[in-house]
Amino acid sequence: MSRIAESQAELTMEYDRLKELKAFDDTKAGVKGLVDSGIVEIPRIFIRPSDELVEELTQGKSTLHCPVIDFSGIEVQDHRKKVVDEIREASEKWGFFQLINHGIPSSVSEGMIDGIRKFHEQDAELKKKYYSRDIKSGRVRYESNFDLYQSKTANWRDTLNISLLHSSHIEPEEIPAVCRNEIVEYINHVTKLGETIFSILSEALGLKPDHLKDMECTKGKSVVCHYYPACPQPELTLGAANHTDPAFLTVLLQDQIGGLQVLHNNQWIDVKPVSQGLVVNIGEALQILSNDKFVSANHRVLANGVGPRMSVACFFNGSFAQPKIYGPIKDLISEENPLLFKEFTVTDYIAKFMSRPLGTSALDLFRL
Ligand code: OGA
Ligand code: NI
């Protein structure tokens, strides 16, 4: 085929893809809608490029485990010191860890997972009125693939997004009734836990416990409730593409299905569900504040033949109030640790992240 014919073929494919993306988007029924329609083969907008699929086959298996940290007894000085040390090490080496005995009652976590299931499994017509990809359209949005029109491959998941970016108060009536009480209760608990984790992280950086809170890192949350339907061809797609989180910190509640993986020493490691555990990961913004002491690790979610899988990511994004400027913490900069990043505002950082396909880190845009 001549070069011109080749690029024309590519153009036609691009055109078809856009048409197919639009048709999928217009259903406002997400991936769940596809599964409900009885498909046995996944639409091509979800199929990963062949070089990625081949690379997947050659990946070795690692026997490493993501650290599990017991949070009980952190009020007691000796215990607290041990937890601070464990969290420092995990944040430096992995950027990822699981917490057990974190204080969120299992009834609250289980209720939340159940609420998310109810939202996604309710009548499609009722869900449609929340479907939007316009972040200005309201504080509660349901969508599939926030980066649908930017990414090369669509992900096998749908999402209910609750924005607490501009104010931590949300009128319960704004939240869909099927999961209202569960979400309100979970947000209260995860907010408190987040503050405790930030105090431990501050200490792990050698700072006063309130340092990160005083920088308003605990503000500006979004609660992102994912639903990954069972997939008829799980080896051809992903639940969530390889990415790092742009936030300061993510606290993730996952059910017992599994599929989350973290990239560690260039190998994908399963973040296996731990009974009543929560996954915590360092985001790009905290990597910048810590001047590269803590790392934001790449992670992804495999698609699964069984399911649905549900998870809830609470992103602590930081203050959206202008003109709050963030940058590497001055106390951490010295001759041996020279400044590595420029300053940023959260609004600018998140806008950059949202305008690119999932997996394109904004971190390097701010590296000096
Ligand atoms: C995310 C994320 C993982 C999961 O929302 O950023 O990585 O298990 N989610 O859903
Ligand atoms: Ni993530």
Q: What pLDDT is stored for residue 294 in this prediction?
A: 98
The residue extents of the domains of the chain are: 3-366
Inter-CA distances, 195 with 100, 134, 188, 191, Å: 16, 30, 11, 6
Residue 12 to residue 18: CA distance in whole angstroms: 10
Beta strands in 91-174 (DSSP E): 96-100, 140-143, 158-164
Structure tokens at 193: 């836990």
CATH architecture classification, 3-366:
Sandwich (2.60)
Q: Collect the ranges in the chain with pLDDT lower than 50.
A: 1
- Cβ atoms of residues 297 and 264 within 8 Å: yes
244: CA distance to ligand 2 center in Å? 6
Task: Give the DSSP letter string of 165-208.
Answer: SS-S---GGGS-GGGHHHHHHHHHHHHHHHHHHHHHHHHHTTS-
DSSP 3-state of 163: strand
Q: Kindly report the CA angle at 99 between 95 and 105, in degrees rounded to 5?
A: 145
Residue identifier of the C-alpha nearest atom 10 of ligand 1: 311
Could you identify the atom of ligand 1 that is nearest to the CA of residue 228? Answer: 10
262 C-alpha vs ligand 2 centroid, how far in Å?
Answer: 10
Which ligand is nearest to the Cα of residue 296, counting in written order?
2
Q: How high is the pLDDT of residue 183?
A: 97
In this prediction, residue 214 carries a pLDDT of: 95
Q: One-letter amino acid identity for 341?
A: F
Tell how far the Cα of 299 is from the centroid of ligand 2, in angstroms.
6
Q: What is the largest CA-CA distance in the chain?
A: 72
Cα-only R_g, the chain: 21
Phi, then psi, of 39 in degrees rounded to 5 = -60, 145
Q: Which atom of ligand 1 is nearest to the CA of 271?
A: 8
| Residue nearest ligand 1's atom 8 by CA | 260
E-strand spans in 72-139?
96-100
Residue 84 Cα to ligand 1 midpoint, Å, equals 25
- Around Cβ 297, how many Cβ atoms within 10 Å? 21
Closest CA to 238 of 49, 71, 107, 61: 49
Separation CA 6–CA 105 (nearest Å):
58
Report how far ligand 1's centroid is from the alpha carbon of 11 (Å).
32
- Going by alpha carbons, the residue nearest to atom 6 of ligand 1 is 245
Q: What local confidence, expressed as pLDDT, does residue 198 receive?
A: 98
What is the spatial order of strands in the sheet that 299-302 belongs to?
Answer: 238-243, 299-302, 260-264, 267-270
Would you say 162 and 130 are in contact if contact means Cβ atoms under 8 Å apart? no
* 78 CA to centre of ligand 2 in angstroms: 32
301 vs 238: CA distance, rounded Å: 6
Say what the pTM is: 0.94
Give the pocket of ligand 1 (CB within 6 Å).
224, 226, 240, 245, 252, 254, 260, 299, 301, 311, 313
